[in-house]
Structure 1
Amino acid sequence: MSACLKFAKSQRKVMKPQRPAVPPLLYVLIAALVSARLLLEQGCSHQALLGIGLVCLGGACLGVVCFVRHGSVVVVAMIVASILASSFAAYIAYQGLLHSDESFTRTAPSRYEYVLTSDMQKGESSWKGTADVYQDGQLQGSVLLLTGREYDVGTHIQCIGRYRSYKEGEAGRKSWLQGIAGSVRVVKVVKAFESKGVRGEIYRLRKEILKTLEPAQSAGRALVAGCVCGYREAYRELKLQRPFMYCGLSHLVSVSGSHLALLALLLELILKRLFMRPLARNAVKLCATGCFVVLCGFPVSALRAWLLVVASCGSEAVGRRKNSLTSSCVIALVMVLLHPQTCESVSFLLSLCSVFGLMLYGSYIRYGVRLVTPRLPLSSGPAGFRKACNTLLKIEGDTIAASLTAQLVTLPVSIAVFGQFSLIAPLANALAVSFFSALVVLGFLVCATMKIPGVCAVVLGCIDIIGAAFYFIVQALAHIPVASVAVEAPSSLLWAVSCIVSALVLVWWPSIRPRVILVGTVCVVLSCACYFVRWRYFAPARICVMDIGQGDAILVTDGASSMLIDTSPDEAVLDALQRQHVFHIDSVLLTHLDMDHVGGVDDLVGQIPCEEVIVAHGVNAHEQKWLKTAIMQLTGKASREVVYKEKLSVGRFHMNVISPVGEVTGNENTDSIEMLASYHDSAGNSLNALFTGDAEEDRTGEALRRGDVGDIDFLKVGHHGSARSITSAQAHVLKPEVAVASAGKNNKFGHPKPQCVATLEESGSAFYCTKDDGDVTVGPGRDGPRVRTQHKHR
């Protein structure tokens, strides 16, 4: 066996690739992107325009110096021209956005016609999707359309509604920068009809494909719907995003160049069988791939890839040499100049960084991976077997190299958007490539055979089987401890470090030593192991009120023990637990049955191990069916009820249930479990804390009168800091040094109420709220509680 894994001398000699030539157009594109983004994000302010002007002036001076010394100013002139052109385009686009916003504000929404340009997503209270706005056949701008039910992409809607601008405030800033003026909440749909013409026929074909696929039926079908039709609602509905994100596989469901490449390859194989001339083959491929881009709803990444195919076919038709890097620069530059808001598109930036990274650094990373890829030596079995194994190892190694390259070059974008870095991504992509290719090909076969029920049923069966196997592997990888780590860093710092490192590698282009790679890999693995052991078995004693929006989720840990008090309204609890480095939960305590406290229970299922769920006495019989099912799936048993004065332990935290006194249903705020927690250690650190759920002054007052609670260090403010959460007299008796309320930013209830904040601060308490301070962690101390805050990735 050891002989099979050793390196053969002849195979260790991997030649270092030549340093790639960087075309001047890449600098031109970077200048255009930076200037356009700067102007858009600064709202075309006078300061931003002045900054652009100074840069151009500096560029002109540099051009004069270059002309005097070298007699050439072409590159500098091109950069200055691109800055001016992109700035002008961004200014015009921003003025157009302001005009659209003004028109939509002063004109009733019923005067317009809305055409959906994206699939609708299900939100908390409505379905939402991007729509172009037309008046008398003229495009007026784009808005986010909020409706009571789902409509298909391409649907024309005439309605009565209310417009809200995204110009001011943080809520819609991201949409505003992408050219969406605001949102229209539909009150009544007057008329809705499908698009006509070629686009309408393509959308109807898409609808028929999705009806045949039934994406919500299985993970495989949801993935195929995303890959072939760009439809991702079933992918979200089945909650596939998180495991795919942890494994660094989210890009597989975002239609891009890889999907077009597979379609083009299939078409090439078929058309060659028909003995078509190259020109005719290219024409058919362009039409088919163009229809595929329309079918998927014009995703920016797919549009960029299709334009690259057009450029490639055009070069072949006129007999010019292909230069993918230069072509990509030209296409991206044209897209930015024609639609400057493209530079704010996450999919565009990820696609662009991936492509350029693979073209510039792909061969270098591949060279490094091949240096450490094991090969079967000449004496290890039959030649055919040895050749097949070595070919497979080479393919998997190249896939790992490509994945690693794309992951590193997109780091500033992916961390800014997702706040995650997947350590398992290279391995996951190597394992996924076969499944992904098979699912995409089967998806195209569904499109070709959907009119032949018997054949289509067989294809769908294959999709279900392969998809189930693929998803099983993805889940297994996602559950590996430290498969993905949360990363908090300023976007500007990430971009600066990324650019500096990229430039140094290009200039230095060093040789790679296999030992360095192996030692580095071992160090990373050991660091991850130490990280896991430290937080799984030696977590610090702490109480953390986590920022999960409008709801409650409170973590109590000490060593290997942990308790989660309430689970937030949705999957936000999973992000919060990852921020706090939680790998296991001993118990989940549900204070009562409001959705903002129990809504995340089903999201915990399959994501984090949990031993039991605790509820108040009498609540078990009143749990809804979905909650009973989720608890059974999470722990393998029904919830356990606790009674008044029952004691619980989390490491050195000793908790005493002080409310409710009798049997409750859990459906009212007054039914909330209130607990007094006490901590003492040998070093003299201590902490006394009161957890209140949604209980308010009446229940807290009863506990005080019974003598169940007195002077405390930390108060989890009841009912998110409502006006009736606590009285001045109660605050002066409890005398908490720290009080924390959990509430969502811009929540409709106005929590925490000013009178609650004033009451607690007047009693001498330091007041914190998650909507302002993020996660608030309170730890025991010798001279009072120690407080630390951490803002979540937004």
Structure 2
Amino acid sequence: MRRKANPELPPRPYIPPATAAAAASIATAACIFEIGWRFALSGAVSLMPIWVPVIFGLASGGMALTGWRLRRHRGAARALGCWLLWAAAGIVLACMASCWALQARATAMQAFFSAPVSGYRFVTRGDPTLTDLGAQISADAFDSDGVKVARVRLSTGKTYERGCSLALIGRAKRLDDTDWSRSRFMRGEIAVVQSVRVTHQSKASSFDPLGAARASMLSVIGPSRDDAAALTAAVVCGRSCEFNRTSSADLFSRTGAVHLIAISGSHIAVLSALLGSLLLRMPLSPRGRTICLLLVMGVYVLFTGCSPSAVRSCSMAALGMAARLGSRRAHALSGLMLVTAALVIMTPGIVYELGFQLSVASVLFISIFGRYITCILCRCGLPPLIAEALAITICAQWATLPLAVPAFGQISLIAPLASLVLAPVMGALLVCGLVAAPLGALVPVLAPVVFVPQALARVSIFAAQLLAAVPFSSVYATMPPLMAAASCFLACALLAWWKDVRRWQLLAVVGLIAVLCAGHVLFWTRAAPACVTVLDVGQGDSILIRDGSAAMLVDAGVDDAVCSALVRNNVYRLDAVLITHWDLDHCGGVPYIVSMMPVDRLFVARGASGNVPPELASADLPPIVEVSAGDRLRIGAFNGEIVWPREPVGGLENGDSLVVDMRYERDGRRLSVLLTGDSELEQERRYAAGVGSVDVLKLGHHGSAVSVDDDLLRTLSPAVAIASAGKNNRYGHPTEKCVEAVKHFGARFLCTIDVGDVALFPDRDGVRLNVEHAGGVQ
């Protein structure tokens, strides 16, 4: 029997000079828009100082001159000159486009805030975003003369579809210094309008046949009916707002299969294959078939809302087809770079859209490393079709890790398998939906035919549920800048090396990585250093206490931010979570924690176990244990004593907060920390004398005005006082009164807003601390 020959190693891919134009245009647009955003926050009339285009103009001029001179040489110098010329072109065009876009935003901001909200007519654009308080949607504001003034983010209590014309009474506010506001600014929105009352509603007069067709198809699908219908609407029509509100959306996120839902290259490939097979049966020339195919793909991209990934994939397909029509060889990397540069020049703010970043990065790595990794997997014995599918998933996940982990805080370990299982079903769902939905819209009596794609949607959801139930299918993770840089360095090193890899070498590398990961986990679960860490979880409280194999969390923050905080502190299990009281900014993260890692028990104040909030009641909570003043907790060498409350409480008020006096003493090292929950002076004055002097005071109620005073500080005599609060919180925490009291006493004041996590280590001198962001230390 003949042995099957190993596939030949593919040649190193050619990196075109257009890469320089794409990279330069992205970097230029990102820098200029960041400067414009900072000027917008400061309230400046102009968002673009004159020195910005001057600097970029000089840089591009220097590059162009150097590149032109190098072009006269041969070999590597000539190639470098070509790259410099492309980079100079990218800088010039991106700079011009960015400056024009920022000037347009500055003009819109000045004009929009010069008149009341009631003086405008708002025409909604795109699909709404559904929230617990209503809906948000992008809208164009027109004045009484019908002239477009600005694009804003409209927040309403009712859901309005795209194309609605609204007259309303409401409030307009400028964008604040938050990540959400920054993302809206980059998309061209200059303000948030909160609708109080809609006084008139009508359909916009503009002719929109695609919008009408989409609305008809969505009415047949009924995305609000159930999860399967919502998934069908997302895959076929690109409307994901209903699906994003379902529990199934989390399943696809945990299995790393969200890219199968978003309108992207896979959708364009399926549509191209479906339409191409139909066009082959028609009496059309190759040129005619290509033109028809391009027209239909373009219409579908417009139909689904022109997402960046869809526009990118459609444009790349158009360039490839155009090259073949011109008897030229299509080159995927050249097409990607040209399309990327063009998109940035047309809409510079797109560089800050996560969808655009993920799309470009994944296609870049697939184009460069896809064939190489496919070859390696084939040599390991995998069938070519499976090897190719796995290689695409590995490349895409590798490329998007530095982007996706900071955004979502998770890594899906089961994503390669999930793509193999779900991709065929989702492809069939798309094909059936593209046939059934238009058919049901055109012939209402045939509307029930949509049960076919919805049945496939149910199969997809069921498969995602099974995959998500696999242990460690998804893990919370953080991506420090050093790891992101290492990922990029590894890609560059592999591209430069580009040699054959034998099976034993691959197994050795995988084994080494497994040993390093196992050693890392073993150290942090068995030999973690004694430490109390005040975690940065936004506007909430969460304090980690650990020593060796023991770990306890005091409070759980408000949401899943606590999971990211635990991951960056290398926590893999908890002996207990102690909830000081039932305010959601102290207990809201519990459901996320118990779904992420083992938790042995939940401590609450005596009498509070009967008041578990409904947000936690549906979670798989560990056994609840009640504690009160005088009870002691031991975490490794840490000894914690409950000093408040002294009688049963409901756990619903700030004054009901459990207060823990945590002390450590071993081998001459010591540390004492008072964790006060949300207790304030009324309670603190009653228990402070019994506590006595401490090294660290975790300020009560996030550093509110009544959390501390001179008398309390003299009683406790802390060397360090720490407030846990969120940036730009509406309560003004920590208050100036609290900060001034601490500084006047002479203690060191720290806040998680400024320094991030604050780690406190026992020391012979009492306390040694380390902060996440050293630049914020006061």
Q: TM-score, normalised by structure 1?
A: 0.86
Answer yes or no: is 1:614 the counterpart of 2:599: no
What is the percentage of aligned positions where both structures have the same residue? 30
Q: 1:263, 1:289 within 8 Å by CA — same for their partners in 2?
A: yes
Answer yes or no: is 1:750 the counterpart of 2:742: no
Which residue is equivalent to 2:238?
Answer: 230
Alignment of 1:367-406 (within 5 A): 367-371=375-379, 373-374=380-381, 393-406=383-396
**Using the alignment, how far apart are the partners of 2:525 and 2:430 within structure 1?**
39
Structure 1 pair 92/604, CA: closer, same or farther in 2 (3 Å)? same
**Using the alignment, how far apart are the partners of 1:225 and 1:534 within structure 2?**
47
Q: Secondary structure at the match of 1:663?
A: coil
Structure 1 pair 199/478, CA: closer, same or farther in 2 (3 Å)? farther
Structure 1 pair 229/604, CA: closer, same or farther in 2 (3 Å)? farther
Which residue is equivalent to 1:437?
Answer: 427
Quote the offset at 1:704 in angstroms: 3.0
Q: 2:580, 2:605 within 8 Å by CA — same for their partners in 1?
A: yes
1:465 to 459, 463, 467: 459
Alignment of 1:315-334 (within 5 A): 315=323, 321-334=329-342
Q: Secondary structure at the match of 2:185?
A: helix
Q: 2:248, 2:461 within 8 Å by CA — same for their partners in 1?
A: no
2:195 to 164, 186, 197: 186
Q: Which amino acid aligns with 1:489?
A: P
**Using the alignment, how far apart are the partners of 1:401 and 1:649 within structure 2?**
49
Q: 1:592, 1:666 within 8 Å by CA — same for their partners in 2?
A: yes
Which residue is equivalent to 1:587?
Answer: 576
Structure 1 pair 520/357, CA: closer, same or farther in 2 (3 Å)? same
Which residue is equivalent to 2:52?
Answer: 48
**Using the alignment, how far apart are the partners of 1:356 and 1:273 within structure 2?**
34
Which residue is equivalent to 2:621?
Answer: 634
**Using the alignment, how far apart are the partners of 2:711 and 2:84 within structure 1?**
72
Which residue is equivalent to 1:175?
Answer: 184
Question: More displaced, 10-19 or 437-446?
Answer: 437-446
1:407 to 393, 397, 414: 397
Structure 1 pair 232/686, CA: closer, same or farther in 2 (3 Å)? farther
Q: Secondary structure at the match of 1:90?
A: helix
Structure 1 pair 239/713, CA: closer, same or farther in 2 (3 Å)? farther
Quote the offset at 1:475 in angstroms: 4.0
Quote the offset at 1:222 in angstroms: 4.8
**Using the alignment, how far apart are the partners of 2:585 and 2:252 within structure 1?**
26
Question: More displaced, 321-330 or 497-506?
Answer: 497-506
Alignment of 1:249-288 (within 5 A): 249-272=257-280, 281-282=289-290, 285-288=293-296
Quote the offset at 1:238 in angstroms: 3.5
Which residue is equivalent to 2:709?
Answer: 727
Answer yes or no: is 1:549 the counterpart of 2:509: no
For structure 1, list consecutive stretches of 5 or more residues without a partner in the other structure: 1-7, 376-392
Q: Which amino acid aligns with 1:310?
A: A
For structure 2, list consecutive stretches of 5 or more residues without a partner in the other structure: 37-47
1:204 to 172, 192, 215: 215
CA displacement, residues 391-431 of structure 1 (integer Å, 9 cap, x when unaligned): xx322222222222233344554456456665654455445
Which residue is equivalent to 1:3?
Answer: none
Q: Which amino acid aligns with 1:618?
A: G
Aligned residues: 752
Q: 2:425, 2:456 within 8 Å by CA — same for their partners in 1?
A: no
**Using the alignment, how far apart are the partners of 1:362 and 1:605 within structure 2?**
38
**Using the alignment, how far apart are the partners of 2:368 and 2:492 within structure 1?**
11
CA displacement, residues 298-326 of structure 1 (integer Å, 9 cap, x when unaligned): 21111121223333444555665434333
Which residue is equivalent to 1:380?
Answer: none
Answer yes or no: is 1:488 the counterpart of 2:480: yes
Q: Which amino acid aligns with 2:121?
A: E
Answer yes or no: is 1:38 the counterpart of 2:70: no
Quote the offset at 1:224 in angstroms: 4.0
CA displacement, residues 518-561 of structure 1 (integer Å, 9 cap, x when unaligned): 21111111112122222233333222221111121222222332
Structure 1 pair 435/717, CA: closer, same or farther in 2 (3 Å)? farther
Q: Secondary structure at the match of 2:673?
A: strand
**Using the alignment, how far apart are the partners of 2:86 and 2:34 within structure 1?**
24
Which residue is equivalent to 1:693?
Answer: 677
Q: Which amino acid aligns with 1:152?
A: E
Q: 1:657, 1:676 within 8 Å by CA — same for their partners in 2?
A: yes
Question: More displaced, 686-695 or 249-258?
Answer: 249-258
Q: Secondary structure at the match of 2:301?
A: helix
Answer yes or no: is 1:739 the counterpart of 2:721: yes
**Using the alignment, how far apart are the partners of 2:768 and 2:254 within structure 1?**
32
Q: Which amino acid aligns with 2:209?
A: V
1:150 to 133, 150, 159: 159
Which residue is equivalent to 1:598?
Answer: 587
Which residue is equivalent to 1:4?
Answer: none
Q: TM-score, normalised by structure 2?
A: 0.87
Structure 1 pair 786/431, CA: closer, same or farther in 2 (3 Å)? farther
CA displacement, residues 88-125 of structure 1 (integer Å, 9 cap, x when unaligned): 22211111111111111212233333333343334575
Q: Which amino acid aligns with 2:190?
A: A
Which residue is equivalent to 1:5?
Answer: none
**Using the alignment, how far apart are the partners of 1:542 and 1:126 within structure 2?**
43
Q: Which amino acid aligns with 1:761?
A: K
Structure 1 pair 318/49, CA: closer, same or farther in 2 (3 Å)? closer
Q: Secondary structure at the match of 1:403?
A: helix
1:17 to 10, 13, 22: 10
Which residue is equivalent to 1:783?
Answer: 765
Q: 2:21, 2:86 within 8 Å by CA — same for their partners in 1?
A: yes
Which residue is equivalent to 1:344?
Answer: 352
Which residue is equivalent to 1:524?
Answer: 513
2:648 to 647, 652, 663: 663
CA displacement, residues 319-367 of structure 1 (integer Å, 9 cap, x when unaligned): 6543433333333333222222223322223212222332233222323
**Using the alignment, how far apart are the partners of 2:194 and 2:156 within structure 1?**
6
Which residue is equivalent to 1:353?
Answer: 361
**Using the alignment, how far apart are the partners of 1:333 and 1:489 within structure 2?**
25
Q: Which amino acid aligns with 1:740?
A: I
Q: 1:247, 1:478 within 8 Å by CA — same for their partners in 2?
A: no
Quote the offset at 1:13 in angstroms: 3.2
**Using the alignment, how far apart are the partners of 1:627 and 1:494 within structure 2?**
35
Q: Which amino acid aligns with 2:533?
A: C
Quote the offset at 1:448 in angstroms: 5.2
1:65 to 61, 66, 69: 69
1:91 to 78, 84, 99: 99
**Using the alignment, how far apart are the partners of 2:717 and 2:359 within structure 1?**
55
Q: Secondary structure at the match of 2:621?
A: helix
Which residue is equivalent to 1:381?
Answer: none
2:636 to 641, 651, 672: 651
Q: Secondary structure at the match of 2:138?
A: strand
**Using the alignment, how far apart are the partners of 2:529 and 2:257 within structure 1?**
33
**Using the alignment, how far apart are the partners of 2:97 and 2:572 within structure 1?**
49
**Using the alignment, how far apart are the partners of 1:149 and 1:485 within structure 2?**
36
Alignment of 1:273-312 (within 5 A): 281-282=289-290, 285-312=293-320
CA displacement, residues 733-758 of structure 1 (integer Å, 9 cap, x when unaligned): 11122221111111111111122122
1:677 to 635, 652, 662: 662
Which residue is equivalent to 2:39?
Answer: none
Q: 1:153, 1:203 within 8 Å by CA — same for their partners in 2?
A: no
Q: 1:225, 1:231 within 8 Å by CA — same for their partners in 2?
A: yes
Question: More displaced, 168-177 or 545-554?
Answer: 168-177
Question: More displaced, 581-590 or 732-741?
Answer: 581-590
Which residue is equivalent to 1:132?
Answer: 140
Q: Which amino acid aligns with 2:769?
A: V
Answer yes or no: is 1:121 the counterpart of 2:129: yes
Q: Secondary structure at the match of 1:322?
A: coil
Alignment of 1:554-593 (within 5 A): 554-593=543-582
